Structure 1
């Protein structure tokens, strides 16, 4: 009987010692996050505003943590390909979705059966940036002003076409059609950079483009800019009129970028990532980086992004219903 009790006490003691040993190890492991490479998955090709943000934040995250950040572009499929890759990866905090207004808000308004829920399937980390779009045309286009473009669209209903780099750009075109009273056909592309290439090559008549992705093309004469879709001029393009000056007062079209992880990600890891990204947002050089591109930082953590995303989804759904866009 005594031997059995002794054996039982030994087992209990060994279990307690093992637990006491494992607990600090587990805590140390959690505190060490991140301790290996992080992957940023982007739903658009290289050269897009979303890609630019992912690469900038990736570099700064490496500087903060000492861990490499790999940016992986998975364009096409309205962002579904990239979303699927993120949600299929282990929900451990090492796979981050760097998405935009298209994938995180606009798609809700355009698809009857979206294969993911941008609110329920993801946990927001941080807002990154917001930028006005610009209306661009081919360098050889006959249209020198937005007024000339609109006049041509009214004279030839349905003949002009718009290169849509994402769902967001498609709805911007719909908003322009409603505001200006014109009919312009949307031609979808895998991403903003592909749409810009189409404009530069004269394959489409116009496009809304993220100012951060198009400024160098504009300055290099690869595309011609007609207006900044904002209520004020952009510092990056000070000589370009804003929409009010171009003849469409009150019209604005912006893109934004934010980071998310799978909703299944443990809270400590998600909170750590959010904290690190917030540190990057607050850097003066981050503000300067975006100002040079004509954009602005969007300071705000997980909860602010959650609220902002809900507002954006509601806004785009209202616009889609108002303009009569048929859901796919």
Structure 2
């Protein structure tokens, strides 16, 4: 039997330690199954709105409930780390000569930064629990690489709510939170779930360039620019190419227009997420010259690296085709003979677009 007084003291100390490690939000949720959460996930998968992300379907039941993934879990510690930007994510719209990289990928890879902090917190938690007489403090740490529903768990733990764009929104930090989770056998008292504060606002819905939201709180990943430029491995469907504009890795539009961002302070962001200067407004021409070695060197330590050179250059070619900048034509033409069929196809499309420009 775990002493309730000890868990209350541990929870309070954990909140302090989490903030010392760079987390700006922390909350506790039950690890038990939530039938509504499970039903919504399975319905979304049944509709095929996850696109080619087969990994979401293959471990759906584990994703649906923490205790399905680990039956001994009793609590979920949900944590958020801010990456609030210092610049306007929409400022480069219409500047065809440069590419737009999503804010979250302009700094250090969040997987590395958040996981390092989570592991440090986990080590501290085990030692602190033992000092309070809690003998069993087993836990598991997750950062976006396991079947864990971080966003609904964050809402259940009270650190924010899932907005109409389906991402977590915080009253203090807006839309700019990286999420992590710790499952543990310690039965922490849960926090109250955060209530939805979107109201009648539909700014995120109206901002989406590809109409990826069939309804508020529902996302069709197959139409989402972040999915198309990151997760989608094949040629980008022609119907979305013009709407992609100059976005070459992800899309911030639905996040950036959220009114709650007026409370998000860039000073609260973890210093490791400070944007690399070369990714704030990168010239497309530089990226169209990248071979595989150059790509790996350029994006070492960046989340961009995980999609590989072929997908990334594909994205840059779509942006080049939308740019109206005929000075890029020589670089684009050279890529029509690329060893990658994915790159060559995108180059052929981009060349045709540029040649049609006045």
TM-score range normalised by the length of the shorter chain:
under 0.3
The structure with the greater share of residues assigned to strand is 1
Specify which structure has the bigger relative contact order, considering alpha-carbon pairs within 8 angstroms and separated by 6 or more residues.
1
Question: Which of structures 1 and 2 has the bigger CA Rg?
Answer: 1
